């Protein structure tokens, strides 16, 4: 199976009840050879409607942060989510929904082979790094797991709700830029 076939299979997935309320499966977007993979928790309303990750107001903010460190989802990074279908009313995805969907992300990881995974927000960090991960204390730090570097920063939607955290998020992206320069071969 190649990456395109993986996507086609995912687009018709019915492994968990979120398939009943979704409009579109949001598989992910970006460069297939990306060395940096961003992972959010799940699609919101705009993402569900368009079938692309981070396309609403929070997506525009994310794109600004990416641009600031010379990343671009059409060129040198990839963006995906823990769950590929929108949870109703934007509630947190349930543990069983995350568990059902995680194999898709694992397969994406297997094809893309990123050097760095950046978790966007608490849910992604707790799913990918550690169940008790504390985003306000541990954001911007790198953790090595199985040869891949993991880092978490605030979810862009949280930054829109709480703009006081924007400088901290910006410094996380500056730290990320330095780490990319250190460990990535072709991102820049
Ligand atoms: S959330 Fe994931 S596991 Fe559930 S139906 Fe959508 S793609 Fe399948």
Residue 82's pLDDT is 98
- What is the value of pTM for the model shown? 0.97
- Of 13, 17, 87, the one to substitute when testing ligand 1's pocket (max ligand atoms within 8 A of C-beta) is 13
Share of the chain above pLDDT 90, in %: 99
Report whether pLDDT(32) > 90. yes
The CA 161 to ligand 1 mean position distance, Å, reads 27
Note the pLDDT tens digit of each residue in 123-175: 999 999 999 999 999 999 999 999 999 999 999 999 999 999 999 999 999 99
Cα separation of 84 and 81, whole Å? 6
C-alpha distances in Å from residue 55, one per residue of 52, 103, 107, 147, 158 = 7, 24, 23, 31, 15
Query: Does the Cβ of 66 fall within 6 Å of ligand 1?
Result: no
Ligand 1 probe mutation, 51, 100, 103, most atoms within 8 A of CB:
100
Residue 168 CA, chain-centre distance (Å), reads: 19
Which ligand 1 atom is nearest residue 14's CA? 5
């Amino acid at each position: 199976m190649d990456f395109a076939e993986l996507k086609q299979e995912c687009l018709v997935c019915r492994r968990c009840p979120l398939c009943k309320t979704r409009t579109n499966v949001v598989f992910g977007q970006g460069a297939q050879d990306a060395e940096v993979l961003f992972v959010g928790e799940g699609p919101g309303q705009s993402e569900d409607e368009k079938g692309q990750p981070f396309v609403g107001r929070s997506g525009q903010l994310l794109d600004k942060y990416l641009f600031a460190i010379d990343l671009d989802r059409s060129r040198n990074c990839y963006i995906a989510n823990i769950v590929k279908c929108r949870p109703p009313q934007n509630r947190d995805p349930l543990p069983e929904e995350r568990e059902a969907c995680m194999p898709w992300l694992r397969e994406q990881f297997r094809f893309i082979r990123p050097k760095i995974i950046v978790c966007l927000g608490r849910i992604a960090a707790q799913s990918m790094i550690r169940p008790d991960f504390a985003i306000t204390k541990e954001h911007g730090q790198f953790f090595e797991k199985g040869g891949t570097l993991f880092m978490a920063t605030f979810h862009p939607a949280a930054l829109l709700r709480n703009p006081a955290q924007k400088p901290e998020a910006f410094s996380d992206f500056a730290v990320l830029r330095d780490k990319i320069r250190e460990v990535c071969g072709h991102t820049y």
